[in-house]
Amino acid sequence: MQDAPHPATAPDTDVSQPWNKDNQAWWDWYVSLADNEGEITAFEPAPPLPDMPLPGDDAVIAELARPYPLSPDDVAFFRTNGFIKLKGVFSPGAVLKLRAELVRQLQAAFGTDVDGGVQDRFLSLEMVWTDNPLLRAYVLSPRVAKICADLLGVRAVRLYHDNVLSKQPGCGRTPWHFDDHHFPLDTHDVVTAWAPAQAIPLAMGPLAFAHPLDVHTLVDAVAFEKSSTSYDRGVAETFRRHNVAVDETPFEIGEVSFHHNLSFHTAARNRTDRSRIVLANTYYADGARVVEAPTMVSGDWQKFMPGVGPGEVAASPLNPVCWPVPGAGDE
């Protein structure tokens, strides 16, 4: 007979309770689950931001509505690998404008100079689109949402939520995970558009993807542990043992990645002197329902779909259809 685990060392795997703090507290908890070795002793200078005038709002809004030339090879790559990085989704001007607005929002929310040196933290803001017309154009962008619908092969996608993510200089790794764990939706037709608000060199911690998509099955047996780095270490060790390929490459300005909710991903520490600011928006196939039993790993999900309960269709006023554009005759 096997010994029962000692209570002091038993893994802490029960995530069945709801998350009862805010979204920033969720991220503070989540990044604490990453394995980080050693101190960062020297910070690399980040590449300079492009020196150019910011475009006007109307020009950016028009750009964000124009279709992107997605090829059949792009779609095939995404379906095999669970992610794709596409260059030129945003113009350099649209990226600079996004960064300026996100820095303003982060500074207002956290009362700190977001670009002012080492702060070690992973800052997050959500629901920035509801009362900010410029950010709404980025979050509800027909250009981005059509890419998501075409990658998934679905007719219509809704917004799950927006997510402003600022990995401050000195902040540690993002632990290995897949988003199926996070989003309480009963579908796998879910994709996140991860849009950097500057170029991201390797030293800044670009999002990195294990591939092909089905490598998630290799780590099904790794138990998620909510108060240690053991899940992150278990996934990394399993991927190493199976020689799983990982795409960890820089993002050029305007490049956006798209990942499926079964795609395993991670991001390295930010070893540069500038915050790594990203707008990560998640979209899902219209018609999806909320799962019966969301967990604490789904964080503040009710804030993103108010009034929608477990088992119900996820279609609150905060989950608009982003593609096809409502009222544009393509519905």
Nearer CB in complex with ligand AKG: 253/256: 256
What's the closest the beta carbon of residue 9 comes to ligand AKG, in angstroms?
29
Taking the CB of residue 71, how many other CB atoms lie within 10 A of it? 9
What are 162's two structure tokens?
């927006």
State yes or no: residue 34 binds ligand AKG (CB under 6 A): no
> For ligand AKG, which residue of 278, 290, 308, 322 counts as binding (CB under 6 A)?
278
Nearer CB in complex with ligand AKG: 168/192: 192
What are 113's two structure tokens?
């100079």
State yes or no: residue 280 binds ligand AKG (CB under 6 A): yes
Residues in Cβ contact with 182 at an 8 Å cutoff, skipping those fewer than 6 apart: 261, 297, 298, 299
What's the closest the beta carbon of residue 329 comes to ligand AKG, in angstroms?
32
Q: Closest Cα to residue 61, out of 102, 91, 87?
A: 91
Residue list 233-272, contact with ligand AKG (CB under 6 A):
265, 267
Exposure b/e, 29-51, CB count within 10 A at least 16 = b = bbbebbbbeeebeebbebbebee
Nearer CB in complex with ligand AKG: 164/305: 164
Nearer CB in complex with ligand AKG: 265/271: 265
Q: Closest Cα to residue 96, out of 69, 60, 128, 72?
A: 60
Nearer CB in complex with ligand AKG: 192/238: 192
State yes or no: residue 23 binds ligand AKG (CB under 6 A): no
Draw the binding track, 96-135, toward ligand AKG (x: CB under 6 A; -: no contact): ----------------------------------------
Cis peptide before 212 (omega within 30 of 0): yes
Nearer CB in complex with ligand AKG: 194/323: 194
Nearer CB in complex with ligand AKG: 93/272: 272
In the numeric block, the tokens 């490049």 are attached to 255
Residue list 152-211, contact with ligand AKG (CB under 6 A):
165, 167, 174, 179, 192, 194, 207
Q: What is the SS3 assignment for 247?
A: strand
Residues in the chain: 331
How many helices (H) and strands (E) the chain has is answered by: 8, 12
CA distance 264 to 42: 29
State yes or no: residue 231 binds ligand AKG (CB under 6 A): no
What's the closest the beta carbon of residue 26 comes to ligand AKG, in angstroms?
12
Residues that bind ligand AKG (CB under 6 A): 165, 167, 174, 179, 192, 194, 207, 265, 267, 278, 280
